[in-house]
Amino acid sequence: MNREWIKVIIAAFFEVCWVVGLKHADNSLTWAGTVLSIVVSFYLLVKSGEKLPVGTAYAVFVGLGTAGTVLSDIAFFGEPFKPVKILLIVILLAGVIGLKLVEDEKKGEEA
Amino acid sequence: MAWAALVVAGMFEMFGVTMINKLHKDKSWQPFILLVAGFAGSFLFLAYALQTLPMGTAYAIWTGIGAAGGAITGMVLYGESKHWKRVLFIIVILGAAVGLKLVS
């Protein structure tokens, strides 16, 4: 695993932080943390895209981000575990990842 | 209202992503400012939607609309590939988003 992929993973971590913040922030400190997380997440994702194939990096990022938000919902905020809902989220995620990977495939063919 | 806000947030996201692509081609201030405005709008509407919707559902739909919308915009406005795989994944995303609305 190289530095670029570590950036993607840290970006996804901050992505989950700001989603939690957008829902639960209730004072200036938590809102500041939310905005900071958005900036850090974006910055790292854009930076990693300079070296990695953008579609693949985004696919990994969004996969980790979605898994993180769903798990945080259930683990920390008492959201009930509904298999049908999780399945639909997984299907949606598969669509997003598929779309992003097709983009890299296409660029690979052009190159 | 939360669902409508989520769709609007996804559309702002889609606009922001289109501006990122523009910024990659043309490193100037204009797409950068539009990008920041697009994402600011997106977060504003997403925050509103999140007041009532669970995080996992809202986040997945938000990124889904951004990705599917970005691909549709690319196909319609920028002549990007209309490969069947892309069309299929867009249908999968939109179908799953509608499904999530129905089970919520």
Please report, rounded to a whole number, the percentage of residues in chain A having pLDDT higher than 70.
Answer: 94
Residue of A nearest to B51 (CA): A23
Q: Note the pLDDT of residue A16.
A: 97
DSSP letter for each residue of B27-70: -SHHHHHHHHHHHHHHHHHHHHHHTTS-HHHHHHHHHHHHHHHH
Q: What is the ipTM of this complex?
A: 0.90
Q: What pTM was computed for the model?
A: 0.89
> Are A82 and B86 in contact (CB < 8 Å)?
no
User: Does residue A111 register a pLDDT over 80?
Assistant: no
Asked which of A19-33, A38-52, B21-35 is least confident by mean pLDDT, the reply is: B21-35
**Measured distance CA(A52)–CA(A62) in Å, rounded:** 15
Domain of A106 in residue numbering reads as 3-110
What is the per-residue pLDDT across A43-92, written as a single tens digit (0 to 9) for each? 999 899 888 988 899 899 999 999 999 999 999 999 999 999 999 999 99
> Are B103 and A95 in contact (CB < 8 Å)?
no
> Are B57 and A98 in contact (CB < 8 Å)?
no
Measured in whole angstroms, the distance separating CA A64 from the mean position of its chain's CA atoms is 5
Nearest to B55 by CA among B102, B8, B4, B100: B100
Q: Note the pLDDT of residue B70.
A: 85
- Kindly tell me the sign of the dihedral angle through the C-alpha atoms of A94, B21, B65, A66: positive
